[in-house]
Amino acid sequence: MTNSIANVLAIALVVILVLNAGSIDYSLQKIWAFQRKRFQRQAKEGRAQLLTRLGRRQQYQVDLRQIRDFVISLQLGTSMDQTLSGALSQIAEQFKKRGLFGERLRTQVEARLSVGPEEVLKGLADDFQSSHLRNLPERLETARNGGFSYERALSITASEVEDEIRGNLRREIQQMPVRLTFPMIVGVFMAALVLGLFPVMSNVLATFRGL
C-alpha cells in the first residue's frame, strides 16, 4: 500500500514538473520577445543620441500603418474637393494624439505649410526616412500639372505602403520558427530532463521507504 502511494506521488510530481516545463517554455518566449524589443529600443535611443551629438538630423521610427492611414486620410480629404493644404491641416489636427508621427506631422504643418504642402511631405519624409513620402510630392506635382488626379496619386502610394506592410508580415511569419527555436529547445529539454529524473526519484523514494 505504501509503495503504491509513493508511486502515485512520484507520478503526480513528474506530471506537475512536465506541466511547469510547458509554462517555462511560454515564459521564456515572453522574456525573449520582451528583451529583444528592449535591446532594439536601447539601440535606437543610443543612435539618436549619437546623431544629436554629431549635429546630424535626428531620424524617427514610424509604423508603416500610420503612413498608410495618413495617405488614405489625405486621399479622402482631397477627394472631397478639399485643397491639399486644407487636407493636411485637418489631418494634422486628427493625428495630433497619435504618437510621434502625429507630433511630427503637426510640427511640419506649422513650420512648412505656408511654404507649400509638398514641403510638409518632404519634412515628414526626412523625419522618418520614408521612401513612400519622399516620392509622393513628385506624384502630386505631376497630378497638379494635369497628368492625373490627386486621388490617383495618393491611391498609388497607399497601395505601395500596403504591399510593403504585407511583405513585412510574410517575412515575420517565415522568421517566426527560427526565433522560437531556442525557447522550444529549452522547453523540450526541460520536459525530457524531468522524465529522465523519474527513475532517480523513484529510487530515492524507495530508499527513504527502506529507512
How many angstroms separate the CA atoms of 122 and 92, rounded?
Answer: 15
Task: Check residue 111 and give its pLDDT.
Answer: 94
Contacts of 117 (CB under 8 A, 6+ apart): 84, 85, 88, 140
| Residue 37 banded pLDDT, cuts 50, 70, 90 | low
pTM over 0.75: no
Q: Are 187 and 19 in contact (CB under 8 A)?
A: no
How many angstroms separate the CA atoms of 65 and 71, rounded?
Answer: 10
Domain boundaries, the chain: 2-55+180-210, 64-168
How many angstroms separate the CA atoms of 159 and 75, rounded?
Answer: 12
pLDDT tens-digit profile of 112-147? Answer: 999 999 999 999 999 999 999 999 998 888 888 877
